[in-house]
Structure 1
Amino acid sequence: MATTHNVDNKRYRSLIVSIALFLSLIGALLAFTFYTSSLLERNTVLIDQTNQVANSAQAVIKDLFDLDSSYGEDTSSPHIQRVLERLEQNTALITNSIAAIGQGGQVTDLDGNDYTLPKINENSQAKISAANEQWQLLEPKIQSYLKDADNIMVDSSDELIQAVEQAKTSSLFINESLDELTDEVFINAERQADTIRLIQVLGVAAIFAYFLIFVFFFVRRLRDTDAEALAARRETQEIMETVNTGLFLLDKDLNIGQQHSRALTNIIGADTLAGENFTNVLRGRISDKDLNTTRQFIEQLYNPRVKEKLVDSLNPLNKVMLHNAHGADGADSRYLDFKFSRVYENKDIARILVNVNDVSDAVYLEQRLEKERSQNDMQIEMLTTILNVNPKIINEFITNTKAHIDKMNNILKNPGSSQFELEGKLKAIYREMHSLKGEASALKLHSFTKIASDAEDKLDALQNQGKLSGNNFLPLAVHLDDLLSLSNTIETLGERINQATPKSVSATNNTHATQSVASSATPASNIKTPAASENQSTHQSAMSMPVASGNDIDLSDESDDDQLSYYQSFAQDIAARQGKQVQLSSQTLAHTAIPAHLKNVVKEISIQLLRNAVVHGIETPAVRQSADKPAVGTIDLEIQSDSRDLIITLQDDGQGIDYDSIRQKLIAKGRFDAEATAQMSQGELLKQLFTSGFSTKEHADEDGGRGVGLDIIKAQVKEYDGKLNVNSELGKMTRFTITLPKA
Structure 2
Amino acid sequence: MAISTRNDNSRYRGLILSIAAFLALIGALLAFTFYTSSLIERNTALVDISNKTANHAQSVIKDLFDLQSSVGEHINSPHQREVRERLQTETQDIEQLLNGMRSGSSYVDAAGNNIKIPQLTTASEENALNAAQQEWNKLKPLIENYLDGADDILIDSSNELALAYEQAKTSSLRMNDSLNDLTNEVFEESESQASAIRLVQLLGVVAIFAYFLIFVFFFVRRLRETDAEALAARRETQEIMATVNTGLFLLDKDLKIGQQHSRALTDIIGAESLAGENFTNILRGRISDKDLNTTKQFIEQLYNPRVKEKLVDSLNPLHKVMLHNTSGDQSSDRRFLDFKFSRVYEDKDIARILVNVDDVSDAVYLEQRLEKERAQNDMQIEMLTTILNVNPKIVHEFISNTKNHIEKMNNILKNPGSSQHELERKLNAIYRDMHSLKGEASALKLHSFTKIASDAEDKLSAMQNQGKLSGNDFLQLAVHLDDLLSLSNTIEILGERINQAAPVNAANPAPSIASNKAASIDKVDSDTVTIADSNSHIDLGDDIDVDDASDSHLLPYYQDFVAHIAARQDKQVQLHSDSVPTVDIPKRLDKVVKEISIQLLRNAVVHGIESAAVRQSRGKPAIGFIDLTMQNNDSTFTIKIEDDGQGINYDNIREKLVSMGRFSIAEVQRLQPKDLLKHLFSSGFSTKEDADEDGGRGVGLDIVKAQVKEYNGKINVHSELGKMTCFVITLPNA
Name the structure 2 match of 1:379.
Answer: 380
Give the structure 2 partner of residue 150 of structure 1: none
Is the CA contact 1:269–1:332 (under 8 Å) kept in the aligned structure 2? no
Aligned to 1:434: 435
> 2:554 maps to what in 1?
563
**Residues 324 and 603 (structure 1), Cα distance of their counterparts in 2 relative to 1, 3 Å cut:** farther
SS at match of 2:726: strand
Distance 1:421 1:381, change over 3 A: same
Asked if the contact 1:334–1:360 (Cα under 8 Å) also holds between the matched residues in 2, the reply is yes
What does residue 402 of structure 1 align with? 403
Q: Deviations over 1:436-461 (max 9, x none)?
A: 11111111222222222222222223
Contact 2:438/2:454 (<8 A) preserved: yes
Q: 1:656, 1:296 → 2: CA distance?
A: 59
Alignment check: 8 A CA contact 1:494 1:524 kept:
no
The aligned counterpart of 1:492 is 493
Distance change >3 Å, CA 418–CA 301, structure 1 → 2: farther
In structure 2, C-alpha distance between the alignment counterparts of 1:674 and 1:300, rounded to whole Å: 62
Q: 1:636 aligned to 2:627? A: yes
Counterpart code for 2:653 = I
Structure 1 residue 649 and structure 2 residue 640: aligned? yes
Query: Alignment partner of 2:336: what SS?
Result: strand
Q: Distance in 2 between the 1:698 and 1:303 partners? A: 52
Instruction: Tell me the amino acid that sits aligned with residue 456 of structure 2.
Output: A
Counterpart of 1:245 in structure 2 is 247
Say whether 1:739 aligns with 2:730. yes
- Which residue matches 1:85? none
Identity of aligned residues (%): 70
Partner of 1:722: 713
Corresponding residue for 1:610? 601
Tell me the distance in 1 between the aligned counterparts of 2:316 and 2:273.
Answer: 25
The one-letter amino acid paired with 2:442 is S
CA contact (8 A) 1:250 1:354 kept: no
Residues 256 and 278 in structure 1, CA contact (< 8 A), matched pair in contact too? no
Structure-2 residue corresponding to 1:459: 460
Residue 341 of structure 1 deviates from its aligned partner by 6.9
State the Cα distance separating 1:643 from its structure 2 match.
Answer: 4.3
Cα pair 1:240 1:259 within 8 Å, conserved:
no
Amino acid at match of 1:281: R
Helix, strand or coil at the partner of 1:698? coil
> How far, CA to CA, are the matches of 2:655 and 2:328 in structure 1?
42
Query: Take 2:455 and 2:284, find their aligned partners in 1: how far apart are those partners?
Result: 32
The aligned counterpart of 2:168 is none
Q: SS of the residue aligned with 1:565?
A: helix
Match of 1:580 in 2: 571
Q: Which amino acid aligns with 1:572?
A: A
The within-5 A match list for 1:128-207 is none
Distance 1:442 1:478 in 2: 23
**Distance between the aligned counterparts of 1:611 and 1:336, measured in 2?**
50
1:392 aligns with 2:383: no
Write the letter of the residue equivalent to 1:462.
M
Q: How far, CA to CA, are the matches of 2:550 and 2:341 in structure 1?
A: 61
Secondary structure of 2:703's aligned partner: helix
> Counterparts of 1:21-420 in structure 2 under 5 Å?
244-245=246-247, 257=256, 267=268, 274-275=277-278, 281=284, 318-322=319-323, 331-337=332-338, 357-420=358-421
Match of 1:443 in 2: 444
What TM-score, normalized to structure 1?
0.53
SS of corresponding position for 2:629 = strand
CA contact (8 A) 1:571 1:610 kept: yes
Q: CA deviation at 1:697?
A: 2.7
SS of residue matched to 2:717 = strand
Aligned to 1:589, the other structure's residue is in SS state coil
Offset at 1:289?
8.7
* Cα pair distance change 1:395/1:342, threshold 3 Å: same
1:593 is aligned to 584
Contact 2:575 2:625 in 1 (8 A): yes
What residue in structure 2 maps to residue 205 of structure 1?
none
Q: For 2:338 and 2:589, how far apart are their aligned partners in 1? A: 58
* Aligned twin of 2:180: none
Sort the Cα spacing of 1:681 and 1:381 in 2 relative to 1 into closer, same or farther, 3 A: same
CA–CA distance in 2 between the matches of 1:269 and 1:657?
Answer: 66
Instruction: In structure 1, give the amino acid aligned to 2:708.
Output: V
Query: How many pairs align?
Result: 455
Structure 1 residue 567 displacement after superposition: 0.6
- Residue 619 of structure 1: SS of its match in structure 2? coil
Aligned partner of residue 693 in structure 1, secondary structure: coil
Taking the aligned partners of 2:619 and 2:355, their CA distance within structure 1 comes to: 62
Q: Report the CA distance shift for 1:661/1:307 in structure 2 as closer, same or farther (over 3 A).
A: farther
After TM superposition, give the deviation of residue 633 of structure 1 in Å.
1.8
In structure 1, the partner of 2:479 is 478
SS in 2 for 1:375: helix
Pair 1:659 & 2:650 matched: yes
CA contact (8 A) 2:550 2:585 kept: no
State how far apart, in whole Å, the 2-side matches of 1:302 and 1:660 are. Answer: 66
CA distance in 1, matches of 2:468, 2:336: 37
User: CA 1:241/1:567 → structure 2, altered by over 3 Å: closer, same or farther?
Assistant: same
Tell me how far apart the structure 2 counterparts of residues 304 and 663 of structure 1 sit (CA, whole Å). Answer: 67
In structure 2, do the counterparts of structure 1 residues 271 and 397 end up closer, same or farther at CA, with 3 Å as the change threshold?
A: farther
Shift of 1:377: 2.6
Distance 1:282 1:340, change over 3 A: farther
Q: Which runs of 5+ in 2 are unaligned?
A: 1-236, 510-547
DSSP-derived class of the 1:488 partner:
helix
Give yes or no for contact 2:549–2:586 (8 Å, CA) kept in 1.
no
Query: Shift in Å at residue 563 of structure 1?
Result: 0.7
CA shift, 1:591, in A, is 3.6
Shift of 1:295: 9.2
Bigger drift between 571-580 and 693-702 goes to 693-702
**8 Å contact kept, 1:648–1:738:** yes
- Aligned partners of 2:550 and 2:583 also within 8 Å: no
Q: 1:300 to 1:610 in 2, by over 3 A?
A: farther
Mapped to 1, the partners of 2:507 and 2:442 lie a distance apart of 20
* Partner deviation per Cα, 1:156-201 (whole Å, 9 max, x = no partner): xxxxxxxxxxxxxxxxxxxxxxxxxxxxxxxxxxxxxxxxxxxxxx
Deviation at 1:407, TM superposition (A): 0.4
- Cα deviation digits, residues 461-509 of structure 1 (max 9, x gap): 322222222222223222222222222222222222344x5xxxxxxxx
Q: CA deviation at 1:353?
A: 7.9
Alignment deviations for residues 279-309 of structure 1 (CA, whole Å, 9 cap, x no partner): 99368x65x9988988998999899998775
Match for residue 682 of structure 2 among 688, 691, 697: 691
Distance 1:559 1:420, change over 3 A: closer
**What's the RMSD between the two structures over aligned residues?**
4.2
**Aligned twin of 1:115:** none
Aligned to 2:13: none
Amino acid at match of 2:584: A
Q: C-alpha distance in 2, partners of 1:297/1:622?
A: 51
Q: Secondary structure of 2:407's match?
A: helix
Give the Cα separation in 2 of the matches to 1:668 and 1:628: 32
Shift of 1:699: 2.8
Q: SS state of the match for residue 647, structure 2?
A: coil
After superposition, give the CA deviation of every residue in 1:223-281 in whole Å (9 maximum; x if it has no partner): xxxxxxxxxxxxx9999999833768698xxx964669686675566789955868993
Gaps of 5+ in 1: 1-235, 502-516, 527-555
Does residue 425 (structure 1) correspond to residue 426 (structure 2)? The answer is yes
Q: Quick one: structure 1 residues 583 and 357, their matched pair in 2 at CA, closer, same or farther if it must change by over 3 Å?
A: farther
Contact 2:691–2:697 (CA<8 Å) still a contact in 1? Answer: yes
Q: Name which structure has the greater RCO, CA cutoff 8 Å, separation 6+.
A: 2
1:412 CA displacement: 0.8
Secondary structure of the residue aligned to 2:450 is helix
Give the secondary-structure state (helix, strand or coil) at the position aligned to 1:369: helix
Which amino acid is the alignment partner of residue 570 of structure 2?
G
